[in-house]
Amino acid sequence: MTVAIPHQELGYSETALTLPASLPFDEWVEVGHTLSRIDKAVHWWLGDWWRYGEHSYGERAAQAVSMDGFAFGTLMNDGWVAGVYPPEERRPELTFSHHRIAAPLGTSSRDEVLARAAAESWSVRELEQQVRQVKAAALTRELVNPVPAPDETPTAFATIVIDPPWQYGNKATRGAAEDHYPTMTQDELIALELPAEDDAHLYLWVTNNFLRDGLELCEAWGFAYKTMLTWVKPQMGMGNYFRSVTEHVLFGVRGSLPTLRNDRTNVISADRKRHSAKPEAFYDLVAEMSPGPYLEMFARQRRMGWHTWGNEA
C-alpha cells in the first residue's frame, strides 16, 4: 500500500492540507484516494506500532507515550484490537471500528458476524445491533442450559478470580452495593481462606477507592502483588472527585507460577454491564494467561470450565 501523498507541492500539517492551484484533476483524485486509505489504516498502524513498542521496550514505551502527548487510551484500545486480529484476519472492506465492535466476541462468533457485515455492507451501527443480539443469545443459552456442576471439585485452584463485596461508605451513590448483594468488612475479607495451590495466580477486582484495601488483601491471602489490569469503559460513571471510567484488577502470584503468554496488554476495553458484572473479555484474558483449575469467588453466574462460589451463582 502506497501512502505518500503524490505531489511535491502539497503542504500538510496537523490541521491543514494545502493544494497548489495548478494540481491536475487526476492527481487531485489520487490525493483523495491516498488520504482515504490512510484514514482507514491509521488505527491499525497505531495498534501495531504500540504493540511493537510495548513488546520491545516495556515500561520505556509507556513512559515515552505519556511524555510525548499521545492519547494513551486510544493507543491502548488500538493495540488491544490489533492484538485480537492478526494481520491476515483483518478485513480491508470493513473499518477499524467494525473490527473493534466485534472484538469482544468469541472467535467463531466474531468471524461469522464480520463475514456477514462484509457481505451485507453493514454500517457500524448495524453491526453494533447484531453484536448485541449475539451477546443476548449467548446469555439466553447460558440461562436455559446452565453449566452442570463438576463431578469432582478440586480442593485447590491454580487461578482464582475474586470480586469482593466491598462496603462503600457513601450509600447514596448510584448503584450502591448494599442494594444488590450483602457486603463484607475488610476484616471479614482478610479472614477468608482462599483455596489456592502453592503456585497460583490471583485476579482481585478493586475500584479506585479500594486500591489500598486490595493490596492489603493480596498480602493477607499470601500473594505477592505483581501488576495491575485496567478495564476502560466508554460510558462515564460516578465519582466524588473525578467521573470514573475504569476498574482495576490486582494481579498477584503465590509461589512461582509464570503466565502462559507474555504478549498481552494490561488494558481491557469493554462496555459497562449490569452492576458489578465483569466483561467477557476479562475471562478470555485470564484463560489465555493463567492455568486451571479456575475458581471465581463471589461469582454472579456460572461459567463453562470454571468452578464458582457465591450466593448469586
- Helix H or strand E segment including 227: strand 224-232
Neighbours of 228 (CB within 10 A): 14
**Helix-helix angle 25-57:72-84, to 10 degrees:** 90
Can you give the three-state secondary structure of 24-56, one letter per residue?
CHHHHHHHHHHHHHHHHHHHHHHHHHHHHHHHH
Name the phi and psi angles at 111, rounded to 5: -60, -40
Only one residue has cell 453494533, namely: 128
Please name the residues in contact with 102: beta carbons below 8 A apart, sequence gap of 6 or more. 110, 113, 114, 117, 127, 131
Q: What CA–CA distance (Å, rounded) separates 184 from 112? A: 43
What pLDDT, on a 0 to 100 scale, did the predictor assign at position 239?
66
Domain ranges of the chain: 12-144, 157-309
Q: What CA–CA distance (Å, rounded) separates 259 from 253? A: 10
In this structure, what is the dihedral angle of CA atoms 239, 243, 247, 252, given to the nearest 10 degrees? -70
Q: Give, in degrees to the nearest 5, the angle at Cα 157 between 183 and 141.
A: 70
Span of 109-113, 187-191, 309-313 with lowest mean pLDDT: 309-313
Residue predicted with more confidence, 308 or 76: 308
- The reported pTM is 0.52
Residue predicted with more confidence, 175 or 64: 64
Of the candidates 207, 211, 210, 205, the residue with the CA atom closest to the CA atom of residue 282: 205
Only one residue has cell 486490595, namely: 214
Amino acid making up residue 260 = L
Chain centroid to CA 143: how far? 24
Q: What CA–CA distance (Å, rounded) separates 96 from 175? A: 33
Residue predicted with more confidence, 175 or 30: 30
Average pLDDT over residues 146-169: 75
Where does the chain have alpha helices with state H? 25-57, 59-67, 72-84, 96-102, 107-119, 124-144, 186-190, 211-220, 280-289
Q: 3-class DSSP state for residue 19? A: coil
Q: What CA–CA distance (Å, rounded) separates 105 from 94? A: 17
Span of 75-89, 112-126, 188-202 with lowest mean pLDDT: 75-89
What pLDDT, on a 0 to 100 scale, did the predictor assign at position 313?
46
Highest mean pLDDT pick, 74-88, 217-231, 263-277: 217-231
What pLDDT, on a 0 to 100 scale, did the predictor assign at position 194?
92
**156, 202 contact by CB (below 8 A):** no
Average pLDDT over residues 65-87: 77
Residue 305, judged by CB atoms within 10 A of its CB (0-12, 13-18, 19+), counts as exposed
What pLDDT, on a 0 to 100 scale, did the predictor assign at position 177?
44
CATH superfamily for domain 157-309: Vaccinia Virus protein VP39 (3.40.50.150)
